[in-house]
Amino acid sequence: QKEVEQDPGPLSVPEGAIVSLNCTYSNSAFQYFMWYRQYSRKGPELLMYTYSSGNKEDGRFTAQVDKSSKYISLFIRDSQPSDSATYLCAMSGNQGAQKLVFGQGTRLTINP
Amino acid sequence: DVKVTQSSRYLVKRTGEKVFLECVQDMDHENMFWYRQDPGLGLRLIYFSYDVKMKEKGDIPEGYSVSREKKERFSLILESASTNQTSMYLCASSLGGSRGYEQYFGPGTRLTVT
């Protein structure tokens, strides 16, 4: 079993829809949870970062962590075609961790 | 802006060739990483370095080696390329310390071994 599981999709939704992307994990030591976004032919870039459980909001994006269920989510409101990308969750056990554990990535397409 | 550059976007090599992939970052980051990215498998860590001349194996180091002679440069070496090393290779760097979670990636090198 992989430490981090993420449905690779692909996921295709109409413009304006609410998108929910999810990851599950097995390592209870994880405390730092990140979402990276990767556009086609580019490297990933950090989108959001959350410590421990709870929610974090940044514009149209909300990251949610449920440590009791070992489940994290990224919600995108009012999705736009420019949100079309691969979204990767990543986790680590401490703030200064050099190594991150990535999910497989979910390929998302927003249709105009 | 942090910039991570990789020497080639596309590379085609023959089986058995020695292959060098170069990565340079311009933000004085302590940590540098090499990943490969394959469909359905996500990002897998090959090697990382937390200081000049220091390196640690990642999850899939077999068939690869690395070199970090200067802080800004991290090289990935395929000693004898094989077809199963055909992949997208991504280099990343991070400041370390309390910002270790924030990795900056290069654009990737798509390597094809024939």
Under a CB-based contact definition with an 8 Å cutoff, are residues A110 and A78 in contact? Answer: no
| Minimal C-alpha gap between A80 and chain B (Å) | 23
| Minimal C-alpha gap between B54 and chain A (Å) | 13
- For residue A33, what pLDDT band results from cuts at 50, 70 and 90? very high
Structure tokens at B104: 């900056």
Please check whether residue A98 touches B, CB under 8 A. yes
Per-residue pLDDT reduced to its tens digit, B21-49: 999 999 899 999 999 999 888 899 999 99
- Which residues of chain B have a CB within 8 Å of the CB of A94? 100
Kindly report the length of chain A: 112
* Dihedral Cα B51, B91, A88, A23, nearest 10 deg: -40
Structure tokens at A43: 């490297």
- Which residues of chain B have a CB within 8 Å of the CB of A88? 42-43
- Residue pLDDT tens, chain B, 114 long: 669 999 999 999 999 999 999 999 998 999 999 999 998 888 999 999 988 988 999 999 999 999 999 999 999 999 999 999 999 999 999 987 777 788 999 999 999 999
Q: What is the DSSP letter of B43?
A: E
**What three-state secondary structure class fits A45?**
strand
Q: Which of B60, B59, B55, B58 is nearest to B75 (CA)?
A: B55
The residues near B1 (Cβ < 8 Å, ≥ 6 apart) are none
Please check whether residue B106 touches A, CB under 8 A. yes
Per-residue pLDDT reduced to its tens digit, A42-65: 999 999 988 888 899 999 999 999
Q: CB distance B94–A98 less than 8 Å?
A: yes
Residue of A nearest to B39 (CA): A104
Which of A41, A88, A94 minimises the CB distance to B42? A88
